[in-house]
Structure 1
Amino acid sequence: MPQWVTPDRLTGTGMAGAALIFLGYIASNLSIWWLLFAIAGYGVQWFGDSMDGSLARYRKIERPSYGYFIDHSCDGLATLLILAGIGLSPFVAMDVALMALAGYLLLSIHAYLSARVLGEFKLSYLSAGPTELRLVLIGLTITMMCLGSGPGYFGQVSGFDLFVGSVAAILILLFVIQTLAIGRRLARSEATARL
Structure 2
Amino acid sequence: MATAMHRFLAWLSGGAPQGRQSFLAAQQNRASAALAAALPDAVDPFELSVLGALGAVAAAVALVAASYWRGLAVLVPLGMGLNWFGLSVDLPLARRRRGAETVAEGMTHHLCEGFSLPLLILAYGFSPFLTFRSAVVILLCYLLFSSYVYIRAATRSAPQMAFIGVGVTEFRLLLAMWPFVALALDLPATRGDPLPVIDIAVMSLGAAAVLGFFGKLFLDGRRLAATARRAP
TM-score by length of 1: 0.87
In 2: Cα distance, 1:59 partner to 1:36 partner: 35
Taking the aligned partners of 1:132 and 1:33, their CA distance within structure 2 comes to 24
Aligned partner of 2:150 in structure 1 is 112
Gaps of 5+ in 2: 1-38
- In the alignment, structure 1 segments of 5+ residues that lack a partner are none
Q: In the alignment, which of 96, 100, 106 is matched to residue 58 of structure 1?
A: 96
1:89-115 per-position Cα deviation (integer Å, ceiling 9, x unaligned): 123222321221111111111112222
Would the alpha carbon gap of residues 105 and 162 (structure 1) be closer, same or farther in structure 2, given more than 3 Å must change? same
CA distance in 2, matches of 1:10, 1:167: 33
Q: Matches of 2:102 and 2:162 in 1, distance apart? A: 20
Aligned length: 193
Q: Is residue 138 of structure 1 aligned with residue 193 of structure 2?
A: no
Alignment check: 8 A CA contact 1:103 1:169 kept: no
Computed over aligned residues only, the root mean square deviation of the Cα atoms, in angstroms, reads 2.2
- Which of 48, 73, 76 pairs up with 1:35? 73
Greater Cα shift, 51-60 or 141-150: 141-150
Could you tell me which residue of structure 2 aligns to residue 46 of structure 1?
Answer: 84
The question of whether the paired residues in 1 share the 8 Å contact of 2:129 and 2:179 is answered with no
Q: Distance in 1 between matches of 2:187 and 2:165?
A: 30
Confirm or deny: 8 A CA contact 2:95 2:101 kept in the other structure: no
Query: Which residue matches 1:180?
Result: 218
Partner of 1:151: 190
The corresponding residue for 2:44 is 6
Quick one: distance in 1 between partners of 2:204 and 2:55?
A: 26
Q: Which residue of 1 aligns with 2:19?
A: none
1:118-144 CA deviation, whole Å, 9 max, x = no partner? 532214332222222222223322112
Segment drifting more, 68-77 vs 175-184:
68-77
Relative contact order higher in (CA < 8 Å, ≥ 6 apart): 2
The equivalent residue for 2:105 is 67
Name segments (4+ residues, structure 1) moved above 6 Å. Answer: none
Distance 2:110 2:218 in 1: 24
